[in-house]
Amino acid sequence: MQVLHHLNKFDDPNILIGFNSIDDAGVYKLTDDLALVQTVDFFPPIVDDPYDFGAVACANSLSDVYAMGGKPISALNLVGFPSNKLPLKVLEEILKGGADKAKEAGVSIIGGHTIKTKEPLYGLSVTGVVHPQKIIKNSGAEKGDLLILTKPLGSGIITTALKQGKTNEELEDKVTGIMAALNKSACEAMVEVGIKAATDITGFGLLGHLWEVCSSSGVGAEIYLSRIPTIKEVWDLAAQKCIPGGTLANLKFSEDKVVWEERIDQVAKFVLADAQTSGGLLIFCPQEKKDKL
């Protein structure tokens, strides 16, 4: 954002959400009844299996459209690959994982671009649609809303432990399944109910993304550690200091934004700040809509 502040602003009245906000995706109005939702994301492998990496990366890329209440319809592959180091079969598996996940979501991959890199990179540029009056924004939270998190926390710490050889195959499969799960059904539910604010929990962790919504909406939030869903194995790994750099950065960022009860220890703070990959939706639900949601 510091860099973007120095760029020329775009005055197009059809830009409903651009980079002047901290929402999850950009939104461009086409007609009074139709707007495009656009987002892009890619990263290096966070799991060992190439197919699983592709599936997780695809689910992660689609998630920002879901967080806005949109329906993703098409995508372009973004690929970096060290063809001089790895066999093309690895690339094939990555792309197959992404394609299968996109098909599960009802999204068509219609092209892409590949460059040569020192390590594999994969993600997608995603286009979705939404009604201009039904966009779910970071700025729509209101006092009294309940917070609903649709996936457990812990993927950042666990995948870091995986790289350090401190996890087993069962836990790797477990966290991979969580990351590869689509946020599609959660999106459809919140759209049907008429939710006004949501975000997806990714690189800034629960604390960072919660702060984004609170600051955009002019509200505060009170969260209770015992009510937050987590992957149970994350606690022991956090105690072993399997902490990714992004999680440490998130915790530092939140220093002046969070008031902690004295009983909250450092391990719990690591979990709450943990940088997620393809995390769940954080939905801000009015109390009168909680049962329907």
Residues 123, 55: Cα–Cα separation, whole Å: 10
The CATH number assigned to the domain with range 138-289 reads 3.90.650.10
Distance, C-alpha 215 to centroid of its chain: 19
Residue 3 is predicted with a pLDDT of 66
Residue 2 is predicted with a pLDDT of 64
Residue 78 is predicted with a pLDDT of 99
Residue 21 is predicted with a pLDDT of 82
Each residue's pLDDT expressed in tens, for the chain with a length of 293 residues:
566 667 778 889 999 999 878 888 999 999 999 999 999 999 999 999 999 999 999 999 999 999 999 999 999 999 999 999 999 999 999 999 999 999 999 999 999 999 999 999 999 999 999 999 999 999 999 999 999 999 999 999 999 999 999 999 999 999 999 999 999 999 999 999 999 999 999 999 999 999 999 999 999 999 999 999 999 999 999 999 999 999 999 999 999 999 999 999 999 999 999 999 999 999 999 999 999 99
CATH 3.30.1330.10 domain range(s) in the chain: 4-130
Distant-in-sequence, close-in-space partners of 152: CB < 8 Å, separation ≥ 6: 178, 229, 230, 231, 280
Structure tokens at 181: 């799960």
Domain 4-130 top-level CATH class:
alpha beta
CATH 3.90.650.10 domain range(s) in the chain: 138-289
Q: Strand 121-130 to strand 146-149: parallel, antiparallel, or no bridges (unpaired)?
A: unpaired
Residue 287 is predicted with a pLDDT of 96
Phi-psi label, residue 30: left if phi above 0, alpha if psi -120 to 50, beta otherwise: alpha
